Chains A and B, each alone.
Chain A
Amino acid sequence: MAFLELQNVTKTFGDHTAVNAINLTVQKGEFVSLLGPSGCGKTTTLQMIAGFVPLTKGIIRLDGRDLSNVKPAERGLGIVFQSYALFPHMTAAQNVAFGLEMRSIPRSDRDQRVRDALALVGLAGYEERFPRRMSGGQQQRVALARALVIRPQILLLDEPLSNLDAKLREEMQIELRQIQRNLGTTTILVTHDQHEAMALSDRIVVMNKGDIEQIGSPQDTYHSPASAFVATFLGKTNAFEGEVQVAQGGISRIIVGDHVYTASAHIKGPVIISVRPERISFAKAGLRGTVCTRIFRGNHWLFQIKTIAGVATVIRQNDGTSMPEEGHDVHLVWREEDTFVRANSKVG
């Protein structure tokens, strides 16, 4: 049975629907990310789970229990905010101890658990520091320790790493993942960074304008996006205009520019064919184009190639083979299973 269950959850502000009848189940111990662009309703969803924003419609269940009459203070959730939200007038240890005090944990036990929690996030020895005398990353760790020390049913993270610089963010991602795997705490992370979502989660929930576009593992959402939005949001993709014609025997002919191949398409007429840049390779025959730019990126090459179906982006691993140079003609091919075909509504 699902540990956390959102059923038909809706939130409207005036006549604006921030979250539109979403359904989501989270298993115990799972790490789920809510991923989407700014304003798509991620924070609102998290705040509804936390109990700070009342639901317009729908129901949220935690471990089978309806949460609608459970106050935020009684839900037993750990929250880490984007702004850290540490208590500035308390030391790191006092911050972490706050939740234990509220639970009337005896003093000696409390001190031990505070020390353990700070050690867990790598801040042993920082007990007496005040937040304003700590770096962003250290404050972030205190916030995490404060949320974890109460052994929360669910850990809610609202863009916890977005205020850190790129290098620190990557370190914290790895650390966060390790801590979460070790403790087995059910975790929901809000982020607009697809790399972060893919690096950390068991499953990704891609949201757009209050709707859920797709729920799936990082690999699934990346390789088999359920919609054009998911395809473009989860990293770079090429979108070629083409056409599907039905040939004999249920087999379709797909025409992209001067490249024609057969495949099993489920639609016909004008289409858009998406292919990830790293899934395109060079061959003797295929979609013809000219290399306009070639950029060396150390472990890979990045090409911009002009074709009659549009400009294509291609990424090739730097495996030591020789690569086409700028101005050279090339032919592009891709495998059928690496494409995502959808109707092109702009044409006919």
Chain B
Amino acid sequence: MSKNGFISLLFHTLFVTFMLAPIIVVCLVAFTPEGYLSLPTNGFSLRWFKAIGRYPEFIRAFWVSIGLGALSSTIVLAFAVPAALGLARYQFRGRDALSALLLSPLMIPHVVLGIAFLRFFTQFGLSGTFAALLIAHIVVIFPFALRLTLSSATGMDRSIEQAAISLGARDWVVFRRVTLPLIMPGLISGWALAFIQSFDEVTMTVFLAAPGTETLPVRMFLYIQDNIDPLVTSVSASVIAITVLALIILDRMFGLEHVLTGHSDRTK
């Protein structure tokens, strides 16, 4: 029988229901045959999934989101790895200040960042460009990648690298053959989390995107301002399906609990 008491069981049930209910409702509504938002009581229909094809801007926005997420997460990782290794290994003056600075975008409301970036990019004539979006996303997702990379870099036994050095390996060889494989789980999870943050970001992006550089959430946000029909639910359901698929693949390849925490049994 369950080790949890009745109250805790009730709490967890309510919590999970609360988290999942909106997602389930959205997925159900996506299959409605009606022209308005409703649960599919008169049979299922793929009408609204087919409708996505008539709105190429949704497809394009989806690809912008994917491209932006992949590119910004990759660039962020290229900075997060050296930053994490430096912070994890060396005691230096201003170390805490630097770490606070790198994590600070977490503490600024995205709406404030959105306005600030808009002003900034207009000044440089960059507003509405993909480059502007990329820079802004790099700033806001950096802390997420850093957190996970840092946790695997700190958990690593320094003497493993010293062993490699004593066996005659040069710095670059040590990094490539020993350090990198050991922090890899942290890197993968850092990348995945950064990607999700980028894909999900709407509050700030809505200020910066222009027609042509709209991301999927921004496109959906703008769409529901003018229309109330089940199209957004079918788009959402598709994104959810893709996410679930991606998680299954990640789990098969690396084990999900390692990816989500950035730890691995290999670093100990």
Contacts and interface: CB of A to CB of B under 8 A. Distances in A.
Interface of A: 50, 52, 72-79, 81-83, 85-89, 98-99, 102-103, 132, 143, 146-147, 150
Contact of B165 (A73, A83, A86, A103): A73
A72 B171 CA distance: 11
Contact of B159 (A73, A77, A81, A89): A81
A211 to B, nearest CB: 26
Given A72-B165, A98-B169, A146-B167, A83 B182 contact: no
A85 B160 contact: yes
A89 B182 contact: yes
24 contacts: A52-B162, A73-B168, A73-B170, A76-B168, A77-B166, A78-B166, A79-B162, A83-B159, A85-B157, A85-B160, A86-B163, A87-B163, A88-B160, A88-B182, A88-B266, A89-B181, A89-B266, A98-B167, A98-B169, A99-B167, A132-B265, A143-B163, A146-B167, A150-B167
A74 to B, nearest CB: 7
Given A87-B178, A88-B182, A102-B173, A150 B168 contact: yes
B113 interface: no
Contacts of A82: 159
Contacts of B266: 88-89, 132
A103 B167 CA distance: 9
A73 B166 contact: yes
A85 to B, nearest CB: 4
A227 B167 CA distance: 39
A158 to B, nearest CB: 9
Nearest to B180: A89
B170 A87 contact: no
B73 to A, nearest CB: 24
A102 B163 CA distance: 12
Give the 8 A-B CB pairs with smallest separation, nearest first: A99-B167, A102-B168, A85-B159, A85-B163, A81-B159, A79-B166, A88-B266, A85-B160
Interface residues of B, number: 20
Interface of B: 157, 159-160, 162-170, 173, 177-178, 181-182, 265-267
B143 to A, nearest CB: 28
Given A73-B166, A83-B157, 5 more contacts: A81-B159, A85-B160, A85-B163, A98-B169, A143-B163
A50 B173 contact: no
Nearest to A149: B167
Given A73-B169, A98-B169, A132-B265, A87 B159 contact: no
**Most interface-central of B167, B173, B177 (chain A CB within 10 A):** B167
Nearest to A76: B168
B160 A87 contact: yes
Contacts of B178: 87
A88 B184 CA distance: 13
B182 A79 contact: no
Nearest to A80: B163
Nearest to A98: B167
A102 B265 CA distance: 27
A52 B170 CA distance: 14
Contacts of A73: 165-166, 168-170
Contact of B162 (A74, A78, A85, A88): A85
A96 to B, nearest CB: 10
Nearest to B173: A102
A74 B168 contact: yes
Nearest to A81: B159
Contacts of B163: 79, 81, 85-87, 143, 146
Given A73-B169, A83-B159, A88-B266, A98 B164 contact: yes
Given A89-B181, A89-B266, A132-B265, A99 B168 contact: yes
Nearest to B265: A132
**Most interface-central of B162, B168, B177 (chain A CB within 10 A):** B168
B247 to A, nearest CB: 24
B254 to A, nearest CB: 13
Contacts of B265: 132
A81 B166 CA distance: 11
Contacts of A150: 167-168
A74 B169 CA distance: 9
A76 B169 CA distance: 11
B177 to A, nearest CB: 8
